[in-house]
Amino acid sequence: MLAHVHIMKTAGQTFRAILRQSFQGNHCDLIVGRAAAAGDVRWAKRFYPGLKSIAGHCVTPHSDLDSAGLNPRYFTFLREPRERCVSHYQFSMQRRGSRIPFEQWLTKYANFQTRILSKTQDASQAIEVLDRRIGFVGLVERFNESLVLFRKWCQDPDLDIRYRSQNIATDNRIKKELLASPQIVALIDECHAQDRILYAHARDTMYQRQVKEFGPKLAAELQELEDSLPAPTILSFTQFVATAKRNMLYKPLTRIRQAA
């Protein structure tokens, strides 16, 4: 079972769409207000008996999924910390409809990627999680290439990595404003020192190992993917049923279960 550890503003919505289109009735976006546990996945399997993949911000690499015989194959995407930080802030403020001072927001979300992976602000612990628990790491800055690498790691013939970008900002004024200030950029770097260590390890060690293991056909397969983008819009009865099951069965019954 593929388990997507989705870190905010790392192309997670686009990747979720890839999982949905590939596995349709066998993919579940978990609805859990905390870290997902084995019981949550067993509940999801009542609706998705052939479950192949799970996603959601609740999916973490430090739960009990593997001890419950669910055999999760954890993977994640990381992003250059400065870019991820300002995109996260911009997204949060646009959703709120009002802005809070960036400096105030930043203290809450410092070293965000490190904290999601390890529940600490210690890059060495997050790197240990990557090395021991995460089977694949992609990079947002090399998203298309990461998809090609992921397809080989996944080894599932149903996986279709063609996509249309999801959840893209239509107004980047906040982001540009922040990055134009040397003082703000310095503050971001200071508050994401551990994330920068984590990202460098993922980029220079783990990712490069994945590239090497892929072999000499990577450039050709990357070009093939890019020539196919954006993906065509495909509507199917199976996709319709999967969407209905998610919205009319899994979501409402899961909320009732959580409220009980």
- Read off the pLDDT band of 66 (50, 70, 90): confident
- Read off the pLDDT band of 168 (50, 70, 90): confident
Per residue in 47-60, pLDDT (tens digit) is 999 999 999 999 99
Q: For the chain, give me the number of helices (H) and strands (E)? A: 14, 5
Per residue in 220-252, pLDDT (tens digit) is 999 999 999 999 887 788 889 999 999 999 999
Res 176 pLDDT > 80: yes
Per residue in 118-153, pLDDT (tens digit) is 999 999 999 999 999 999 999 999 999 999 999 999
The H-or-E segment that residue 9 falls in is none
Which tokens hold the place of 134? 């995460």
Are 82 and 192 a contacting pair, CB within 8 Å? yes
Candidates 54, 13, 20, 15; CA nearest to 37 is: 54
User: Mean pLDDT score of the chain, rounded to an integer?
Assistant: 94
Res 219 pLDDT > 80: yes
- Read off the pLDDT band of 11 (50, 70, 90): very high
pLDDT of residue 166: 87
